[in-house]
Chains A and B, each alone.
Chain A
Amino acid sequence: MALLPTYAIAQVDTTAVKEQELQEVSVNANSVQQRIKAVQIGAEQIQVKELTSAPALFGEVDIMRSLQLLPGVKSESDASSSFQVRGGTAAQNTILYDKAPVYNIGHLAGLFSAFNDNALASATLYKGLVPAQYGGASSAVLDIIGRTGRNDKWGGNASIGLISAKASVEGPIVKDKLKMLFNVRRSYIDMFMKMIKKYRDNSLYFFDTNLKLDWQINDRNKLYLSFFSSHDKTRLNDMVDMRWSNLAGSLTWGHDFRGLSSSQTTLYATSYQTNNDINISGLNIAYLGHIRHVGLRQNFQLMLGRHELNIGAQTMITDVKTAEWTRVNNHEKEQRKGWDNSAWLNWQFSPIRQLSASAGMRLTVFSEKCFVKTHVTIEPRISLAWQPSEWMSIKAGYSRTSQNIHALRNQNTTTPFDRYTISSKLVKPEVADQVSLGLFIMTPSQDYDFSLEGYYRHIDNVLDYRDGISFSSAIEIERLILSGEGRGYGVELCARKNKGKLTGWLSYTLSWSKTRIDGISQNQWYNANNDRRHDVNIVGRYKLSPAWTLNATWIFYSGQALTAPSAKYQMIDNYVYYYAERNGYRAPNYHRLDIGATWTKKIWKGRLTREWTFGIYNLYNRYNPYLINYEDNHDGQGTKANQYSLFGIVPSVALNLKF
């Protein structure tokens, strides 16, 4: 048997990985069956092909924006490709790219994700209920698997859209032994800017690249080398120069034992770096930060009859520069190191045909440098699936997860100005407990399937800024923060149509998310920043003809929690607002319709596929809320609330050539 990259398998679904090998990634009937059968509740698997179900902003197909259409998953804002799950924040998610953790994966301040769809095979999102093999996140884990190259012949593609161009090349370096895939994507807005005199000194630029090598040593051993890098640069004349980057590399050795058991050993290193310079009329200020990891992960997947065991351990060195500031003549730096060790055991079995179970335990031991303080967290996980008939299952689960890398932000969205720190003597690990119950049904023909899931989540030691503090108020992060608890609960509904010319899904999420921190809002529970009650996503894809595919997405969010004044008063000849409750108001509802069409034709006797993609983002040009502020006249005659919107209607076109 050829070795599969089983390091990606976990419990949810092996189909994606097999498909990765076959180079034929598509949504098929198995996906439906697995939604019914898979033991793990709260797991969503996305195939890259499925991304084309959603129209793309500026013609950029984006895995992260597609994730935001799933039930229980929310976008941070119009400008963000980061996602929030079941009341958690984007900073409480862990994103793994071929098992290496990456941070702030947005290009252009978050407008697009740094993940090139050409480079991806599949992604699995664990919405808080995760198998014991995964950890490090108090909200969700997104496990992204990079695609390996073709084995049969050399090929590739090239595409050009409104703001970027990308190209890939893939094929066998040594037939049946070594194959590779190399992707590169670059924005070219800066090139156009250089041609226009008044924009010549500005730059909006991003670049990313992916490399994956796959070496079949012999029938039992395989090596994967994966490399990912992304760079962003935004420069406004010589005033502002913002740069951030992600580098991630992993080397995985897969070994196949006799039978179906296997071992995966992964050595990885990652670096997320920010470097922001501001220079206004001789006033120079620089902000720097980074998160770096070097880790070794070992997992054994043992298939013992009806039992599947995952046993493993991980050790990881973490280096976080929470801030390094040069402000005029003052230089300050705060850098912390930690050692994160974890071990896990996960046992999946079926005592009877109708019942399958997955039970596990993860032990996390996190030490600040030189063992100043060691935090030990024991994390039990369990999932049960009862399938009384082939067409229906009921699932339940409980999971405890912890997080030792903490992000701090004043705003809702991820930015390069977010500060990060690690668990320390004063900062405890975030620990989340979640229970979930779900009903999954499909029609006998598998044309349709339906799911209903409910969840309750509680998290300890969430951090927030003290009142009257900003990210740059003090270099010592403990002086800026307060800690407390959070809770979230809700119901998620999803109906999918899987076959026929028209496919797609409708999802609805009803949710609550609250926070309580001593020292904020009179120590009472208050709505979390990301609290909103209703989310509706309708995604449709219509295969009009062999050449034409149409798609459309309609999104509705009820008003996001908002802090607005409840009174005002005069101070230093200005009106000042009094905020009686944090997040006690609601922003206006958000909705938009995106449409797209793809025209595909094989040319040059089938050697080349030409694909035109047309899209219109926000078809009815609705101005949705992005930012709301308040202002008064000098004499206090009337407070005005102003809403700023990010995008109106945005048409796009992209050309893709595959060979």
Chain B
Amino acid sequence: MKKYLIFLLLPLFLSCKKEILIDYHEVEPLYVAEATLTQTGTNVRLSTTQNVTDNNPHSHIVENAIVVLSCKNYELKDTLHYTREGYYTSETVGSPGFSYDLDIYVNDRHFTSSSTMQEVPVVKSYRFVWQKMVSTRILYCDLRIQDDPDRDNYYLINFYRNNESYRWSVMNDVYNKGGELQKLIACSTERKMDENDSDALQENDSIRIEVRAIDQTSYDYFYSMQVMKSAGTNPLPNFTGGCLGYFSAYNYVILQSIFHRSQVEEK
């Protein structure tokens, strides 16, 4: 919540923003895995880190890995197929309550991670609302999820605008267990929208919101990624062996709409 306050209060005091040059240090590339197991299949994207000044994201994919998905619950052992651009895929789908292990073997390195598949999240509603702030208004996406009281629940919300990632956030149910969970996603100020700022939502933008029900290990990873900007730290390791990234087995729902400013509700 502190980041909201910074977002709200800084414009009152800050007088100038300018780009500065930093002589970034270079480090040896590290392996990065983004591995997901959902109700529709398994996807692993394997790459390496790139230097800060390196602007080519396509030259860091890893093509020579062996990626194995396994599940002790029903003796699953599935070696994923390399498809393209660092992606390893399988048609194996996850079952709620089952724990899955992922092993990645690449250039004499071995990385492992585990995750437990969650139930499909129940989204009650979402809408856009205005919130007055000093001399302007802030546009929020107000998302409501019905929590399941029988277990601890964790969620990741991915907000896409015109098929590009726009905002993301995590939450858990500790503050209203079994009740209606509310997530507010700050989009932009009304002033920025009026100025057609590239970061502001615009009329007829296509909106896609992906709500994932994730396990606690994945939540801890994403939560640490959420606070890293203010803390200047890396996300907590999710893989053993020094690989960056995460493996998450989750169920998800997708919400889609077209943004119309006239449909934004007053708080």
Contacts and interface: CB of A to CB of B under 8 A. Distances in A.
Contact size class for B?
Answer: 35 or more
Interface string A582-617: 111100100000000000000000000000000000
A70 B55 CA distance: 45
Nearest to B58: A636
Contact of B245 (A465, A566, A571): A571
B165 A566 contact: no
Contact of B224 (A327, A467, A578, A640): A467
A581 B8 CA distance: 30
- In this complex, the member of B24, B34, B164, B174 whose beta carbon has the largest number of chain A beta carbons within 10 angstroms is B24
Given A329-B175, A580-B27, A623-B15, A639 B52 contact: yes
Given A468-B220, A471-B2, A569-B50, A628 B20 contact: yes
Interface in A626-651: 626-629, 634-648
B18 A278 contact: no
B32 A330 contact: no
Nearest to B129: A281
Contacts of B17: 642-645
B202 to A, nearest CB: 16
A570 B231 contact: no
Contacts of B177: 329
Interface in B229-247: 229-236, 244-246
Contacts of A242: 5
B255 interface: no
A330 B174 contact: yes
Contacts of B174: 330
Interface stretch (B103-111, B113-121, B134-142): B134-142
A76 to B, nearest CB: 15
Given A470-B227, A569-B32, A580-B25, A282 B14 contact: no
A108 B176 CA distance: 33
Contacts of B30: 567, 569, 578
A205 to B, nearest CB: 14
B70 interface: no
Contacts of A626: 14
B133 interface: yes
B234 A467 contact: yes
Interface of B: 1-2, 4-5, 8-10, 12-22, 24-27, 29-30, 32, 34, 45, 47-53, 55-57, 60, 129, 131-135, 140, 142, 156, 158, 160, 164-165, 168, 174-177, 179, 182, 184, 220, 223-225, 227-236, 244-246, 267
Given A570-B47, A634-B165, 12 more contacts: A328-B179, A469-B224, A565-B52, A566-B52, A569-B30, A569-B244, A571-B225, A572-B158, A636-B50, A645-B14, A646-B13, A647-B15
23 contacts: A198-B134, A278-B1, A278-B5, A330-B176, A465-B231, A467-B231, A468-B225, A468-B231, A468-B234, A470-B230, A566-B27, A567-B49, A570-B34, A571-B32, A571-B246, A572-B165, A573-B165, A578-B244, A579-B232, A582-B232, A582-B233, A623-B18, A641-B22
